Structure 1
């Protein structure tokens, strides 16, 4: 397990942030040497775009294409939609990203302020 929190400067839209986060998550998995992953997102639109084989014409289509291309290098992966209330840890990490300068990574751990949320999610 690993956790990455990175500030997004000048986001264009919620969907653009979600698409960028998907791309960055796949990239991070590759950077730390994992070959299998399940990626979850709470934007139905972005997750649907990640799960189709034709190019997205959305303003964030290039991010979708990048995420798909990076994911194809993995042994196994899937992009799944989760409801926002089921994604509390991701939202806590997103809020944390607003307070950091650029990027922070935790290997085999989660940031201390989110540990309780993490434990609650893995126990359910």
Structure 2
């Protein structure tokens, strides 16, 4: 079992929407990252967001999504599917962030392990994320 966390922020780094999803499958780290990308694209579509940057902490996955290198074999089908879906938006950037720069998403993923399937927050911030979001915005936007 694994969990993924998706966070949608505005240009100032403030949270707009978020979700946690439990994955009931024995997946490795790369597969979980690829599923997070798939869920992130679906969540952006559901929230009617057309221009965004999707961040991930796997450089090889991000490079594959940017079509700079071939995807790892274990996630090739998910990567090609995600690239196709990304083309349905007005503009999607894929960006690599270090694991420390992705703490709120990791907290959402950890939260997913304790839920039945899916939790979604629209225009509200779950209390367990508040401090991490403040620190993350400070580090990423004022560094």
* TM-score, normalised relative to structure 2: 0.80
| Structure 1 position 49 matched with structure 2 position 64 | yes
Please, which of 51, 57, 68 is the counterpart of residue 36 of structure 1?
51
Higher RCO (CA < 8 A, seq sep 6+): 1
1:61 corresponds in structure 2 to: 76
Q: How many residues align?
A: 124
Alpha-carbon spacing, 1:54–1:44, altered in 2? closer, same or farther (3 Å): closer
Specify the SS of the correspondent of 2:128: helix
Question: Which ranges of structure 2 fall in alignment gaps of 5 or more residues?
Answer: 1-15
Tell whether the 8 Å contact from 2:60 to 2:71 is kept in structure 1 after alignment. no
Higher relative strand content: 2
Q: In 2, distance between residues paired with 1:55 and 1:73?
A: 21
Equivalent residues in 2 for 1:2-13, closer than 5 Å: 2-13=17-28
4+ aligned runs moved over 3 Å, structure 1: 53-57
Shift of 1:96: 0.6
Q: In the superposition, relative to structure 1, how do residues 55 and 44 fare at CA in structure 2: closer, same or farther (>3 Å)?
A: closer
- Are 1:15 and 1:43, in contact at CA under 8 Å, matched by a contact in 2? yes
Gaps of 5+ in 1: none
Instruction: Tell me the TM-score normalised to structure 1 length.
Output: 0.91
Which one of 91, 95, 107 corresponds to residue 76 of structure 1?
91
Distance 1:116 1:57 in 2: 35
